[in-house]
Chain A
Amino acid sequence: MKSRNTHRTANHFAICAAALLATLTACGKDSSNSSPPPSSLTDGIASLEANGTLPKLDRSTDVAGPDANGNGVRDDIEAWINTQPVTTDQKTALMQNARAFQHTLTVDLTDATALESSRNELMAAVHCGSSRFPAFADFYPYNQKIEAITANTRERAMRYIQYNVASSETSNTLPNYDTCEP
């Protein structure tokens, strides 16, 4: 830890010096948060979730989680998507993406037909998302984030891992038509 901190301090000086030429903004604290630095990691995460740097997510033990409007997307994930700097069409694609990932947590893992449908939904959602963003590279980080926040608790992560296992040795086709839902 000591060597890392030393290295970090040296870098920090360099960054401060460079930044000083352009602005007089003080270095040494997170510019996005003027409150005092947290004293523990738990407090720090809470502050980042409060200021929107990190998503504020449902942490209940329920695998499905809350979906008050019944649109297939967990309420906290829908709220996060609504904060993203995307167009209306892109937001619709992200909602489809979130719905497809959410279904992976609730689908009957013993039902091969339902599992195949779920995997096809993932394919369709990814294909749609790719078409709604200027480049695939613009969409890809959203796909990763939505997957991560969908399986965001121990119960959900374990269920998603079970879905992984149940999907092994399968094949699916990437659609070649417009798969976007309205």
Chain B
Amino acid sequence: MRPLSTTIAGTLALSLGLMFLPRSALANLPGTQAAPDRWYYSTDFVFGSCLKDSQKCSAAYGNAAAACSAEINAWNSTYGDSVTYQGVESQYVCKTDNVGITYWAIPGCSNGQLSWAADQGTYVCTMCPQQSHPASTGDGCACDDGYSENNDHTACVKPIVVGFFNGIKTTPGGAASSLQAIDDLMGPDRNGTPLNYQLFYNQTNGFLEDVAEVFEQRSAELDGALNNRWEYFWDMLSGRQNDSDSFLGRLVNATKNWATGGTIGAFAGVIDGLSNDILGKAAAWLAGKISDPPTEADYAAHLAKLNSLSSTSKGFVLVAHSQGNLFVNHAYDGFAAAHPESPTKVVHVAPASPTLRGDYILSSSDLVINALRIQGITSVPPINWTNPPSTKDLLGHGLVEIYLDPGRDGRARVQTMTTTALDAVNN
């Protein structure tokens, strides 16, 4: 932690006109990094985080102790009890060591009016000049809420929201990595317009519980060998039994060299049975949603989020995978009707929906979606990508494992569809 005297020296240096650096330059200094946006975009947050001194905290909230405590509790739940308060002359300085980096913020600043300057390896912030938007950010000043710097840090612009609606069997951890995979595919901007990646998460209600029950039942056939080894449950759920790098794949491979009787001999059959169970339940769940579509209550929260982003976004590209297509159609319809001024496009990946709002891709080896066709649901779109099976996902349905697999041409097709959609809303 930097001594207080250094802070004062740094503050004085700033007041004497120390050169400001753009945030991009600060982020590249050794041992340092730019502070998360929220640190200086929200005045309230700065007050709440810094003023742990109860007297000052209450004063900041007009002696509204409850509001003050709520802010501090929210802070602590995120960062732990690691924030300390120091007074420096007439300014407040907050710092944290839980991430090993010292940040300094002055609560007198308001949205978009902070800039950062180097001071012996750490940063202090001071007031930026008042400015309107879009504004040059070459002086290191942050953009107002809802705006992002363009690539060369010369202007604050509205981003395009890339929203992702997840597929069946997707956990929050899997959804986060799927969104990151889309970011990895499309990059931080499109022709200079920043992309704001948003996750619209829906879990597959009741599906995981059903599959867990089947996993326990099937495990009983193996004399309890998998009873308390649920890492194989998650591998099964993602169809990783033939992936030699997965835990389940390693076990499957090993059993091929062992005796064929008893539980070892039964193992392959149990795995095959489980795989069929998961496929059957996934197809049945999706078929149920097609015949009994999501209600307004099911997508109200996501529609509200889209509405809240409309005024600060240039447009929207909504990417849906699997069951996400059932939700994205409703969200799109509701949002487009309420906000005709916001250009919005939809990209459908492995669509489980009977209707489409944009271009789509469906793999020939996607057993989950094509199982819907076998069940007599003819409204699932035709296969338009001939794609061989993969050991990474035996069901051939995963967004990352199949459709965004760097070794398959489906990835380029998803990229092209998304790029086309981005260009349409970016004009």
Name A residues whose Cβ lies closer than 8 Å to a Cβ of B: 1, 4-5, 8, 12, 28-30, 37-42, 44-45, 48, 53-55, 57, 59, 101, 104, 111, 113-114, 117, 119-120, 122-123, 125-127, 130, 135-137, 140-141, 143-145, 147-149, 151-154, 156-158, 160-161, 163-165, 167-179, 181-182
**When the two chains form their complex, are residues A122 and B173 in contact, meaning their CB atoms are under 8 A apart?**
yes
Q: How many residues of B contact A (CB 8 A)?
A: 80
Q: CB of B14 within 8 A of chain A?
A: no
CB-CB contacts below 8 Å: B164-206 with A: 171-174, 176-177, 179-181, 183-184, 188, 194, 196-203, 205
Contact of A53 among B183, B254, B301, B400 (CB under 8 A): B254
Contact of A40 among B177, B225, B406 (CB under 8 A): B225
List chain A residues, Cβ under 8 A from B100.
181-182
In the complex with contacts A37-B258, A41-B255, A182-B99, A126-B229 CB distance below 8 A: no
List chain A residues, Cβ under 8 A from B225.
40-42, 45
**When the two chains form their complex, are residues A54 and B251 in contact, meaning their CB atoms are under 8 A apart?**
yes
List chain A residues, Cβ under 8 A from B199.
123, 171-174
List chain A residues, Cβ under 8 A from B194.
176
A133 to B200 Cα, complex, angstroms? 26
**When the two chains form their complex, are residues A41 and B263 in contact, meaning their CB atoms are under 8 A apart?**
yes
List chain B residues, Cβ under 8 A from A157.
212, 230, 233-234
Identify the stretch in B264-272, B314-322, B415-423 within 8 Å (CB) of chain A at 4 or more residues.
B264-272
Q: Please list 15 pairs of residues, one from A and one from B, whose beta carbons are closer than 8 Å in the complex, sorted by A's number.
A: A38-B258, A41-B263, A45-B229, A53-B250, A53-B254, A54-B251, A127-B180, A144-B174, A157-B230, A171-B200, A172-B201, A174-B179, A174-B183, A174-B197, A181-B100
In the complex with contacts A123-B176, A136-B181, A144-B238, A153-B228 CB distance below 8 A: yes
**When the two chains form their complex, are residues A104 and B406 in contact, meaning their CB atoms are under 8 A apart?**
no
A160 to B183 Cα, complex, angstroms? 26
Contact of A147 among B99, B203, B234 (CB under 8 A): B234
A149 to B230 Cα, complex, angstroms? 8
| Beyond A164-B208, A176-B148, 17 extra complex contacts between A and B, CB < 8 Å | A5-B260, A40-B263, A41-B262, A45-B229, A54-B247, A59-B229, A104-B173, A117-B77, A125-B176, A137-B406, A151-B230, A154-B216, A168-B203, A169-B201, A172-B199, A174-B179, A175-B36
In the complex with contacts A145-B247, A177-B36, A126-B180 CB distance below 8 A: yes
Q: CB of B53 within 8 A of chain A?
A: no
CB-CB contacts below 8 Å: B42-83 with A: 74, 77-78
